Amino acid sequence: MDLLHGKLYWPATLPAPPSYPVLEEDISCDVLIIGGGSSGAQCAFELAQTGLDIVVLEKDLIGSGSTSANTALLQYLGDKMLFELVNSFGEEKAILHTKLCEKAIDKIEEVSKILPIDPDFKRRDSLYFASGGFGSNKLLHENFYLKKHGFKSELWSEENIIQHYPFRKQSALYLYDDGEINPFKYTHGLLQYAKKYGVRIYENTPVNGRKRDTDEITFFTENHHSIRAKYTIFAAGYEGLEWKKEKNSVLSSTYAVVTTPVEDLSDWYKRTLIWETARPYIYMRTTPDNRIIIGGLDEKTNNAEKRDAKLIHKKEKLITEFNLLFPITQVKPDYYLSAFYGGTHDGFPVIGQYPEFPNCYFLFAYGDNGLVYSGIMAEILRDVITSGSSTMLSLYQQRK
């Protein structure tokens, strides 16, 4: 799958990342993790101290897939608004999911402190503004459930917004204690930590076949070696769909720009994460070296050639969208990309279990909070594999 195209920023922040060998022998293990991006790395981290024999296989270089394109805004609200999730799943499940996202950000913060590679985690508040009158209505509904269930948020009027930002919007939600991170450094930090506890990691090792036994699967690599595993986690991001189609998944295309460093960000209140109620939406964040990441302008295409043909136009449009909000701040694009972006029809990520894949779990952390969702599901899968169950598994199992 042609996941992305362009000039990538995150790998440039860690120019000499750890490297790992190619698998050159037949092996067996307790748990095989297929995928060496942020999802696979979080699974490896969670399983590292369980006493199980863990193997991670990455087809390319660690973190070189969608992890390198992830703009890494860490938020507990997502594509589907909370009140929409309440309508789809009921209030109890929708709130539970949102609380789990909030808790996952807390966990990411704590984990970041112990990793051998600093992933530049930073707490940030979010400004979620209304794209129009209808957007203001949505924010009213959203704020009702946020306040009811104790989330730290405020509903801001136009006057509140212009007191803090150089732009006008009819209304906005101001959300406390979201976050940002460098996903490339986070992935490498997690795997370096897991390696200390005996997790075996291989890169440049594509898996291209499997043989099903009664209660396990043997996998085969392109260079004709085998891996026999009691349990397998497919944490291959969007490429997991090449192993198993999940009917709840939706693949589209997205775009992002990273600017040159900006000297003065003083008119950006607390360097908040910024996004809007429109769908598709524009979003923005800053980086530790004072760059600005601007993303969005999604297209409903899963054709890589069509996606990439629009990159130059989208790059210019994203800069224009930024200048509509911050007209005085002069920015120039330095890095820019087009990439596939996966979501789900109903707004919840998916843990897939399928009869033709015994003792296998597909981690489809699809949506705009993929890194957060991966953290939640990595904990669930750790509990399922080590103790046979998790009270949260049913929340994310594939829906019929």
- CATH value at residue 281: 3.30.9.10
Please state the φ and ψ torsions of residue 58, each to the nearest 5 degrees: -120, 130
Question: 61: domain CATH number?
Answer: 3.50.50.60
Number of structural domains (the chain) is 2
Contact, 336 vs 256, CB < 8 A? yes
Residues 192 and 266 in one domain: no
Q: How many of the other CB atoms lie within 10 Å of CB of 242?
A: 10
Place 176 in a pLDDT band, splitting at 50, 70 and 90.
very high
Residue 140 in tokens? 């009213």
Asked whether residue 10 is domain-assigned, the answer is yes
Of 301, 323, 344, the domain-final residue: 344
Residues 327 and 259 in one domain: yes
CA distance 40 to 119: 16
Residues 146 and 253 in one domain: yes
Residues 145 and 161 in one domain: yes
Residues 283 and 321 in one domain: yes
Residue in 193, 45, 32 with CA at minimum distance from that of residue 115: 193
Residues 275 and 324 in one domain: yes
Per DSSP, 12 falls in state G
Place 232 in a pLDDT band, splitting at 50, 70 and 90.
very high
CA distance 394 to 400: 12
Identify the domain containing residue 162 by its residue range.
123-178+249-344
Residues 357 and 339 in one domain: no
Residue in 110, 121, 14 with CA at minimum distance from that of residue 73: 121
Residues 275 and 325 in one domain: yes
Q: pLDDT tens-digit profile of 330-382?
A: 999 999 999 999 999 999 999 999 999 999 999 999 998 999 999 999 999 99
Q: pLDDT tens-digit profile of 15-56?
A: 999 999 999 999 999 999 999 999 999 999 999 999 999 999
Asked whether residue 109 is domain-assigned, the answer is no
Residues 190 and 234 in one domain: yes
Query: Please, which residues have CB within 8 angstroms of residue 48's CB and are 6 or more apart in sequence?
Result: 54, 193, 194, 196, 197, 198, 199
Residues 174 and 53 in one domain: no
Residues 259 and 327 in one domain: yes
Q: How many of the other CB atoms lie within 10 Å of CB of 353?
A: 15
Please state the φ and ψ torsions of residue 83, each to the nearest 5 degrees: -65, -30
Residues 282 and 235 in one domain: no
More confident residue, 261 or 133: 261
Residue in 180, 179, 161, 181 with CA at minimum distance from that of residue 170: 161
pLDDT at 399: 79
Q: Mean pLDDT in the chain?
A: 96
